[in-house]
A = this chain, B = another copy of it.
Amino acid sequence: MPKKIRLGILGGGGDSLIGVLHRVASFINDNYEIVGAVFNPDYDQSVEFAKEIDIPTNRIYKDFDTLVEEELKLPEDERIQVCSVQTPNFLHFPMAKKLLDNGFHVICEKPMTMDYAEAKILEEAHQKSGKIFALTHTYTGYPMVRQMKEMIKTGELGKIHKVDAQYYQGWINSIIHDKEKRSTVWRLDPTKAGISSCMGDIGVHAFNMVEFTTGLQIKSVLCDFNYLYEDNKMDVDGTVLVRMDDHVKGVIRSSQVATGEENGLTIAIYGEKGALKWEQERPNFLYKMSDTEPLQVYKPGHAYNSEFSLNASKLPPGHPEGIFDSMANIYLGAARAIRGEAYKEGEFPTMKDGVRGMNFIESTVASHKGGNVWVALD
């Protein structure tokens, strides 16, 4: 029996950056083989792209519905086992739902859905399906993020009392300050991009990292957005006060107008006995702080790390692995789950992360629109 999982790809063709990331990630640990795809709404372009990356063209389909239909005709041991959904955001929900409904496993880009209501529907579909659903919150695959989660779980920080997460980018500056551009780009059109730009696209990653690393749930949020211009209808910056428990508080800061920031996701978790800090752009360094001891800098691949972290490194210390390797770890976790092997909570983000994320995004919007009031998450 071949070991490799039969993978279908939806989207990700042409110059798609997310496409490269997913494809390479699927290859890295020898777990997947691409057997079918709809890379592009245009069939010819889909086939062209298949040739370009040199995979067989016989199961390149003209559209998603055809893919499902035709694959279901194939014997189960030839059929696509899992589809990776990399299409524009509004297609994530209908595709994921139909896939689950028809017995396919799903690896899905974020945002999982366009809103919380869809997320709840998808959650139900998922439960019924019994299939694996992996959401690609890429950053949870980094070895030092996993180490962070483990150190917190084993109590190295004591009781957590404060969190501070940031996701700062500056790229939307090139659009937002130009009236023409900001009124035409789909990213800032609520009918196309959903209810939130900044919080929906990147703030939610920071939210996910807080819950992923601490194992705690954010219970309520108070949010203030900045739209920068009167005629702009989408948040391009937002700060969220968060409460996790009576005396456990924090802040999530998110911006697409933090000029000069590239992909500035950082997270700091403060506990009674210690603290941990991590930055996405220097992913191989984890900072352990205490009030009385020297700062400690953890790096991947060392025996002092947890098994969960060590399993996320391929090479010895000093050989920097990056974001492709992080995504590959998520694909690896999903592969283990798809094969029915034992896997551990955290090896890949799940439906629960997606539901929580949509709940968070909607709550921040509600808070802002309600006049910066506290809004409870479910």
Contact = CB atoms under 8 A, between A and B. Distances in A.
Contacts of A173: 272, 291
A294 B288 contact: yes
A294 B304 contact: yes
Contacts of A292: 302-304
Interface string A261-295: 11110001011111100001111100011111111
A293 B263 CA distance: 15
A289 B270 contact: no
Nearest to A326: B320
A227 interface: yes
A24 interface: yes
A120 interface: no
- Consensus secondary structure, chain A interface: loop
Nearest to A169: B318
Given A259-B291, A281-B320, A275 B170 contact: yes
A4, A20, A170, A296: residue with the most chain B Cβ atoms closer than 10 Å: A170
A42 interface: no
Interface string A57-91: 00000000000000000000000000000000000
B304 A177 contact: no
Contacts of A274: 259-260
Contacts of A316: 17, 262-263
Contacts of A2: 54
Interface stretch (A121-129, A249-257, A344-352): A249-257
A183 interface: no
Contacts of A171: 291
A229 B263 CA distance: 36
Contacts of A174: 291
Given A28-B27, A320-B323, A259 B247 contact: no
Interface string A90-122: 000000000000000000000000000000000
Contacts of A253: 164, 251
Chain A: interface residue count, which band? Answer: 35 or more
Interface string A231-265: 00000010101000001011101010111111110
A216 interface: no
A298 interface: yes
A241 B227 CA distance: 15
A259 B298 CA distance: 16
B222 A224 contact: yes
Contact of A296 (B17, B272, B295): B295
Given A157-B259, A260-B295, A294-B299, 9 more contacts: A170-B275, A224-B241, A237-B249, A255-B270, A259-B271, A260-B290, A262-B318, A295-B297, A321-B324
25 contacts: A17-B314, A161-B237, A171-B291, A173-B272, A228-B247, A257-B270, A259-B272, A259-B274, A259-B290, A260-B275, A260-B289, A260-B290, A260-B295, A261-B289, A263-B317, A264-B318, A294-B296, A294-B304, A297-B297, A314-B324, A319-B323, A320-B322, A320-B323, A321-B323, A324-B325
